[in-house]
A and B are shown apart, each in its own frame.
Chain A
Amino acid sequence: MRILLATLLTAACAMPVHKDYSKLLAANPRAILIVPALNKSVEVDAPDYFLSTLSVPLAERGYYVFPVNLVKRMLEDDGLSDAALVHGADPIRLCNLFGADAVLYATIERWTAKYILLSTQVEVEFNYVLKDGKTGDLLWEGHEKSVYQSNSGQGLLADVIMAAVTKAKPNYMDLARGANSRAVEYPGPGLPAGPYRPEYRMDVPEVVRVRGKPAPASKPNS
């Protein structure tokens, strides 16, 4: 229910946005390594909770995603239990370790709940960065924010009930899921279809596709 309200508060359906996909299309990653999120909020549990929401949207875009809990534990066993260390590590080495084509670094910019009078405002904000496992280049980036405000506008009693309910349990997870799906949604600023989607390689405009390749014989030019 809250996700619906959040959907209303932010963009309803993402509009196509022109973005440079040339590097992403040239790199053509199949397998994405999702590493534990970097936390810039004060909520210590946020990175683990957030990590649990990342596999589904990326896999549904048609990419192979490595199992996030397994990856997290393996990194911990390798002495990389601090997400800052993982994010600071060489993406090429990281991808080699797992056999991944690209690595997704997600950062939690905000994960907060504010209680003002009878209303509750829950806010999450994330950055997503995808880097190439062969070159370390930036392939794609995204930024999303979700806000939930309990403001039923149905009179004082309803507001009190709403505030009490939400205060007891601000639902960050629905907000995070909403932000993730908007981030990867395509057409939009999101990710073009990966190899497991039927529209793979057919959902990007011709211009982008041509630019994505190092122009091999696309125009027998003078």
Chain B
Amino acid sequence: MHRTMALGSLLLIGCAPPTMYKWSGYDVALYDHYKSPQERALFVTRLAAVITNAEGQGQRVPPGCYAEYGWALYEEGRGADAIVYFQKESQHWPESRVLMEKLIRNASGLRAPAGAKGDAGTVEEGRK
């Protein structure tokens, strides 16, 4: 058993190149979100962590991750916060521009739900 594992490790080291991006468990965050959608706050926090981890190390945030986080904020009615991240996705990944422009337009028209922060002029850097 242990011998098999060691052999497997060797083969895996032989094949797997290091990753280009620092994903910080983005895929696991998605999986857990689909498995336990009620744990939404945790999902949002983990998406934020993908961004802060990469940025903190001066690395490029993986494709789609600014927008994925922005969308999570948008779904919570935080239109102004969402826009910040849609803009970041658009700036860092020109391929996303068409979609991000659409989403920014949508988020601009989003009315903040009662009790939530108004979205006029409160663009902030998001939670860290």
Q: Which residues of A contact B (CB under 8 A)?
A: 1, 3-5, 7-8, 12-13, 30-31, 45, 48-49, 51-53, 55-56, 59-60, 62-70, 73, 98-101, 152-154, 158, 173, 177, 181, 185, 196-197
CB proximity of A198 to chain B, nearest CB, Å: 9
Interchain CB contact (< 8 A) of A49 among B19, B34, B72, B95: B34
Interface residue count on the B side (C-beta < 8 Å):
38
A-B pair number, CB within 8 angstroms: 114
A5, B8: Cβ atoms under 8 Å? yes
Q: 15 A-B residue contacts at CB 8 Å?
A: A4-B12, A8-B4, A13-B11, A51-B34, A55-B26, A55-B63, A56-B23, A56-B27, A56-B62, A59-B20, A59-B62, A64-B63, A67-B64, A69-B33, A101-B95
Residues from chain B with Cβ under 8 Å of A51 in the complex: 30, 34
A-B pairs with lowest CB-CB distance, top 6: A99-B98, A4-B8, A67-B64, A31-B95, A52-B30, A67-B68
Q: Is the interface of B mostly helix, strand, loop or mixed?
A: helix
Instruction: Assess A56 versus B96: contact at CB under 8 Å? Given A13-B11, A62-B20.
Output: no
Instruction: Assess A7 versus B8: contact at CB under 8 Å? Given A52-B27, A59-B64.
Output: yes
